[in-house]
Amino acid sequence: MVSTLVPAAALSETGEDGFVLDASTGIAASDELEGVLTWLQSALRPATGLPLHRRDGDGGIRLAIDPALAVEGFRVEVGPAGVRIEGGSAAGVFAGCQVLLQLLPPSVYRRARVTGETWRIPGVRVQDRPRFGWRGVMLDVVRHFMPKHDVLRFIDLMAMHRLNTLHLHLTDDQGWRIEIRKYPRLTEVGAWRHETQVGASRESPTDGRPHGGFYTQDDIREIVQYAADRFIAVVPEIESPGHVQAALAAYPELGLAGRSYDVFTRWGINDNVLNVEESTVDFFTDVLDEVMELFPSSYIGVGGDECPKDQWHEDPRTQERMRELGVGDEEQLQAWWIGRLDQHITSRGRRLFGWDEILEGGLAAGATVASWRGRAGALVAARRGHDVVSCPDDLVYLDYRQSDSPDEPIPVSIVLSLEDVYGFDPVPPELTEAEARHVLGGQANVWTEHMDSPRTVDYLVFPRLCALAEALWREGPGDFGDFTRRLATHLERLDAIGVEYRRSSGPLPWQRRPGIVGRPSTREEREAYIRSVVANIVS
Ligand code: ACM
């Protein structure tokens, strides 16, 4: 059998006949694997129509933990007597179940009974373990709201690709997407904007059409539980001290004196920032308390990126406050703000997670850095002893255009091809072995300014996310030719699910956005920009 697994896994043939699922097949598992067993039944039943009851004893499918395997490692053995799926933990068994699905015909992913299919699994032995513990995606549900139903679907697609961390970007200038009981105006006001910029140029028009949405606390609990059942941690992100205009529209007293705000209707960085009064620190720590109650994740995101310093520089009260605090400049003021959030998060037994700008002006020891501006942040953070999640824009920003064709919808930044993403290595080669141990893994970032529906998210994310998942799972550089061969079968799986991925031939007519202006750049232009913005952390 030629492997069609994505991500790849070490596979060998046993020479045996394999196994056919039929009406007599049962699934056996110990009680600690009951959740995985229930999931596997729910995954296999719709297309096969088989009962697959829980049944102890030999034969059929057997799930077991083997502590000798790595925590997320697995072993799948298929022979005439049945299927045995073992993992170092329930998470490893679950990964093995994902492999089992990929060993079956792609139609197993359909949601209603498929007639005329034989559910044959070839005689194989597959064993593997992931290289990294953080295999993630950041999903921006602010710029365009993603309905809960589609977030759950996205989680299923992550699980299929053995990804384990969903970083949810919940607040920004253009919206506030999570209910906070103590501050209801955050969603009453902050979850809605009057209209939306269409296109990526400063001159782009707005559409005159309101947009919004938010998750209730019950929705969040459902998302978190749904992800946990699939061994995916959800890391929430509440942005500050910039990217806060939706919060300012709801509670203008959080901003600088004498200003009023609307939820932002345009893209790009804007100047509006928080004031740094104790009452504003209290507001954000209150918000974080409700967030930490909802999200059990070890990591709590605070954003921290792209905070313009002009308003702080010009505001007399902020300058007075800086003198009170003994803070020398606005960069250090940002570090003071992040430090206050860090103290609060750390006191609750969690760890602060923020974009690499939080390295400006110094950072508390336990903080973890998402390195996005090339790999400068990863180098600086790891060398200073911080844990790092690599997400360099030039390799894993899935909003970037997929080819240089003028047909790409609203093309932004550089061309980021499937092969570019496939080549991603989260560990910069300049790091020593000890420094490299700070790299927890990597994630793709899905910014949705120009993805106005889940259909467009499908187009930008797939199949590049398949390449990303393999890059984070495998040891070594991988083989892109082999990946593209396996991908041919994998796309049949995505077709069965109904994922509107980008064809290698380019966008289908309805995936184009003729006449809507993008903002493409060359690699040289982008590199010059990144060099200029990371100068203050590199020096
Ligand atoms: C970012 O892309 N502003 C983190």
Domains present along the chain, CATH in parentheses = 2-128 (3.30.379.10), 134-480+495-538 (3.20.20.80)
- pLDDT, tens digit (0-9, with 9 covering 90-100), for 424-466: 999 999 999 999 999 999 999 999 999 999 999 999 999 999 9
Active site residue 342: no
Binning pLDDT at 50, 70 and 90, where does residue 361 land?
A: confident
Q: State if residue 219 touches ligand 1 by the CB under 6 angstroms criterion.
A: no
Q: State if residue 533 touches ligand 1 by the CB under 6 angstroms criterion.
A: no
How far, in Å, is the centroid of ligand 1 from the Cα of 305?
A: 6
Per-chain mean pLDDT for the chain: 97
Is residue 215's pLDDT more than 90?
yes
Q: State if residue 400 touches ligand 1 by the CB under 6 angstroms criterion.
A: no
DSSP 430-498: TS-HHHHTTEEEEEEEE--TT--SHHHHHHHHTTHHHHHHHHHH-SSS--HHHHHHHHHHHHHHHHHHT
pLDDT value for 2:
75
Share of the chain above pLDDT 70, in %: 100
Is residue 220's pLDDT more than 80?
yes
pLDDT value for 364:
86
Asked whether 241 and 275 are in contact (CB, 8 A), the reply is: no
E strand or H helix at 370, and its extent?
strand 368-371
pLDDT value for 142:
98
Q: Alpha carbon 190 to chain centroid distance?
A: 23
Alpha carbon distance 283, 240 (integer Å): 12
Is residue 539's pLDDT more than 80?
no
Residue tagged active-site, from 286, 306, 407, 527: 306
What is the mean pLDDT of the segment spanning 78-103? 97
Q: State if residue 271 touches ligand 1 by the CB under 6 angstroms criterion.
A: no
pLDDT value for 151:
99
How far, in Å, is the centroid of ligand 1 from the Cα of 212?
A: 21
- pLDDT, tens digit (0-9, with 9 covering 90-100), for 280-296: 999 999 999 999 999 99
Locus of tokens 């056919």: 20
Binning pLDDT at 50, 70 and 90, where does residue 535 land?
A: very high
- pLDDT, tens digit (0-9, with 9 covering 90-100), for 151-183: 999 999 999 999 999 999 999 999 999 999 999
Q: At what angle do helices 330-347 and 278-294 cross, to 10 degrees?
A: 40
Active site residue 156: no
- pLDDT, tens digit (0-9, with 9 covering 90-100), for 22-47: 999 999 999 999 999 999 999 999 99
- pLDDT, tens digit (0-9, with 9 covering 90-100), for 181-213: 999 999 999 999 999 999 999 999 999 999 999
Binning pLDDT at 50, 70 and 90, where does residue 372 land?
A: very high
How far, in Å, is the centroid of ligand 1 from the Cα of 220?
A: 23
Global pTM value: 0.98
pLDDT value for 15:
80
Is residue 57's pLDDT more than 80?
no
Is residue 58's pLDDT more than 80?
no
What is the mean pLDDT of the segment spanning 462-485? 97
Residue closest via CA to ligand 1's atom 2 equals 372
Lowest mean pLDDT among 12-26, 274-288, 289-303, 314-328: 12-26
Asked whether 271 and 308 are in contact (CB, 8 A), the reply is: yes
pLDDT value for 49:
98
Is residue 236's pLDDT more than 80?
yes
**Collapsed DSSP state (helix, strand, coil) of residue 187:** helix
Is residue 110's pLDDT more than 90?
yes
Is residue 18's pLDDT more than 80?
yes
Q: Which atom of ligand 1 is nearest to the CA of 306?
A: 3
Q: State if residue 306 touches ligand 1 by the CB under 6 angstroms criterion.
A: yes
Q: State if residue 355 touches ligand 1 by the CB under 6 angstroms criterion.
A: yes
How far, in Å, is the centroid of ligand 1 from the Cα of 375?
A: 13
pLDDT value for 6:
98
Active site residue 524: no
pLDDT value for 12:
83
Q: In this structure, which amino acid lies at residue 494?
A: L
pLDDT value for 139:
99
Name the region of 319 (left: φ>0; alpha: ψ -120 to 50; beta: rest).
alpha
Q: State if residue 305 touches ligand 1 by the CB under 6 angstroms criterion.
A: yes
For 452-473, letters b (16+ CB in 10 Å) and e give bebebbbbbbbbbbbbbbbbbb
What is the mean pLDDT of the segment spanning 369-388? 96
